[in-house]
Structure 1
């Protein structure tokens, strides 16, 4: 059985070990400090030994498509050239870096962010098909605002070309792997999902879009390793009858491996952008923090509507309780059917759990939210001598206080005192010093 410290080859790229920092929102934007912010957020994981560091969802167009405030876009050659500072920083530590490319489609801020809509009144959402009836009802109720532009066949090809152009810029900037945001209700997910996709052209088969994106990236960016998330909508509420089932998701993975995708990240979730992707506790501290109150009101269209969103968030937290390694079963099914590496993320927190997953369910294991509290977390989990205790785990408590303020434009950081206190104790014990990690991690 492979160990966490064992290397892996992904599409010809040598990854030094099987632990990766999964994509997170860095909220860096594209301003003069954007690359400095990305370096500050991502370099610690590489310094601490992560084999692969994934930059969070990065938009393939200069305007529109952002699912949250301050997302970075990769559509400009000058900005891409500056990103070389980031990739060089990661490579100096012997790690590899992937960039996750995305367009939000119906999930974009032009749908849900009230202040952004006021500032961009002419900006429409890109849509695979007309928004589903349930979402149109939310539009009539005033919670969302749809002015969707359903793409023609030619426009879908142009969007795929934008993914190719951004991938080419990423290769020029020194990224090792291109990672598509194929889940969490982004545009790729919307193509794959029968809840969203009711097209009658060739893209009525959602995999066709990923085939065209693959071809565009190969034509424009060469043989850069290419991977994507693949969703199974198993967490959708029971009243949603049109959904992407587990068997369909496995079949999609088989098709993508045959097309030429070099790695796959199967994940479960809903047809909605909800807590199925961040299972855990209701983030009460984040919702009650007065520092974010005005930001929530700006985002959701007033304090009353913000309170209703918080109530919905609470209900979701009851439905989507935390589950350890919640994508493991789907990953195992996919791994049994494809010959490319399968990456697992979602609720993975403990070293012993990682050892069990590797070789049985997946080929690499990743974490996301825990890095907000412990940017150098790999130092505590990796050990060439094999003496890290099986119960060594991230200090993250899955409270989600890190994620909700991002809707108000805040950075993704841990805000829970007990978690920060434990991370501080570990830092004082030099647990994040790779040279001392083995000894201090046992204290």
Structure 2
């Protein structure tokens, strides 16, 4: 365990950070977001347009959003990029070169959606791909089977055999090796938010009686598969706690379970950890904030919603559930702070904190003090409104001025993604404030 910090050792946001031998120039990072780049001929240009501004503005690390390690199935949302093809990944060196030209570092997040994949929840995608099965750690839990019977989900799950678990881990390893060859500095595993890694860790999803019944085992095997193929690239992962699951739903991962899992992954050789609180379902516990009424009412997205949910009544019910969740999961500042602090006290590797961090004062609190909550801090949705946000947060006077993002956590950027729309800020007042900052030169890097 790391020693208690002395006042003289408290890091600044602008201090470098070593992660598995890779030096980040500072401790501010752009957390993974859905870029909707796909794999078409413009994919690399789309990714570069999305990610390069953060590096140009000074972000120490830029995380590319979740990419799928297999060529079929596994996408949790429309427009996700697949990284099963080494030739496609090799072309991403144009993206990594663009990030490195600004002195930044870049991570690629690897994922498979498992039971959260579009073949379970997206009606139009399921109709167009009737032969696709979801990969499952165990048979779907009872609450998900109920949603299946009610017509909101459609499960045709294939439970992975022990050998198939190793095969899937090998796919993560091959994708990581190709990414390292393309110039990515770090590999970031999507270990939370209900992807398949989370499902292996969760007692709600995992009822296996083989070695993969151990919540840490698939994480360990994936890391070994990466090390076998790319032994010098640092690997970090999100780690879930299911503290926000609805009452009566279980069993779930407690805060203590998450801390123990982080200790296991530290011992296994992971180079950094990102602990996050959430639920066992894909719901607003992941993002929190206001009900995105503007996006639900927008006629431009209606056909996309109908394709995703199958009918107007179903879309209306999803919107109603979204509204109810917004009351339960109201926005909290730095909602993973306490969890990250507990993990910091028990592991030696860097701990990255994200989730509801919206101002420089909160960043200083997370990094500082004798009992730190983070070694680096990340933001995600605010980058939709301010692609060059780091330029404002890294200014020497940002701490004294209490510099804050313009994002209001209204979530109007997020809901249209279910309809295949890109993640962009759609709130006029927020965009107006970002425009004022741009006119004042706030995004010009010193």
TM-score (ref. length: structure 1): 0.97
Give the match's secondary structure for 2:164: helix
Give the match's secondary structure for 1:67: coil
Could you say which residue in structure 1 is the equivalent of 2:273? Answer: 264
Task: Output the CA distance in 2 between the equivalents of 1:409 and 1:241.
Answer: 32
Task: Output the CA distance in 2 between the equivalents of 1:176 and 1:302.
Answer: 44
Task: Output the CA distance in 1 between the equivalents of 2:283 and 2:402.
Answer: 30
Could you say which residue in structure 2 is the equivalent of 1:361? Answer: 373
Q: What's the CA shift for 1:389?
A: 3.0
Give the match's secondary structure for 1:170: helix
Task: Output the CA distance in 1 between the equivalents of 2:99 and 2:398.
Answer: 26
1:41-69 CA-partner distances (Å, limit 9, x unpaired)? 00000000000000000000011100000
Q: What's the CA shift for 1:116?
A: 0.4
Give the match's secondary structure for 2:314: helix
Given that residues 392 and 398 in structure 2 are in contact (C-alpha distance below 8 angstroms), is that contact kept between their aligned partners in structure 1?
no
Could you say which residue in structure 2 is the equivalent of 1:440? Answer: none
Could you say which residue in structure 2 is the equivalent of 1:412? Answer: 423
Q: What's the CA shift for 1:391?
A: 1.3
Task: Output the CA distance in 2 between the equivalents of 1:355 and 1:72.
Answer: 34
Task: Output the CA distance in 2 between the equivalents of 1:417 and 1:169.
Answer: 41
Which stretch of structure 1 is more off in the superposition, 385-394 or 129-138? 385-394
The 5 Å alignment of 1:205-354 reads 205-354=214-363
Given the alignment of the two structures, is residue 94 of structure 1 paired with residue 106 of structure 2, yes or no?
A: no
Given the alignment of the two structures, is residue 379 of structure 1 paired with residue 401 of structure 2, yes or no?
A: no
Task: Output the CA distance in 1 between the equivalents of 2:89 and 2:209.
Answer: 37
Given the alignment of the two structures, is residue 147 of structure 1 paired with residue 156 of structure 2, yes or no?
A: yes
1:263-320 CA-partner distances (Å, limit 9, x unpaired)? 0000000000000010100000000000000100000001111111000000000000
Deviant stretches of 4+, over 6 Å: none
Q: What's the CA shift for 1:206?
A: 2.0
Q: Note the residue ranges of structure 2 that are not aligned, 5 or more in a row.
A: 1-9
Give the match's secondary structure for 2:53: helix
Could you say which residue in structure 1 is the equivalent of 2:19? Answer: 10
TM-score (ref. length: structure 2): 0.97
Cα 1:88/1:207, change in 2 over 3 Å:
same
Q: Note the residue ranges of structure 1 that are not aligned, 5 or more in a row.
A: 436-443
Task: Output the CA distance in 2 between the equivalents of 1:66 and 1:206.
Answer: 23
- 1:132 corresponds, among 121, 136, 141, to 141
Given the alignment of the two structures, is residue 197 of structure 1 paired with residue 206 of structure 2, yes or no?
A: yes
Task: Output the CA distance in 1 between the equivalents of 2:123 and 2:286.
Answer: 23
Task: Output the CA distance in 2 between the equivalents of 1:187 and 1:56.
Answer: 16
Q: What's the CA shift for 1:390?
A: 4.4
Task: Output the CA distance in 2 between the equivalents of 1:167 and 1:221.
Answer: 7
RMSD between superposed Cα atoms in Å: 0.8
Aligned length in residues: 434
Given that residues 360 and 398 in structure 2 are in contact (C-alpha distance below 8 angstroms), is that contact kept between their aligned partners in structure 1?
no
Task: Output the CA distance in 2 between the equivalents of 1:402 and 1:20.
Answer: 20
Task: Output the CA distance in 1 between the equivalents of 2:22 and 2:401.
Answer: 29
1:195-236 CA-partner distances (Å, limit 9, x unpaired)? 000000000012100110010000011221000000000000
Given that residues 177 and 224 in structure 1 are in contact (C-alpha distance below 8 angstroms), is that contact kept between their aligned partners in structure 2?
yes
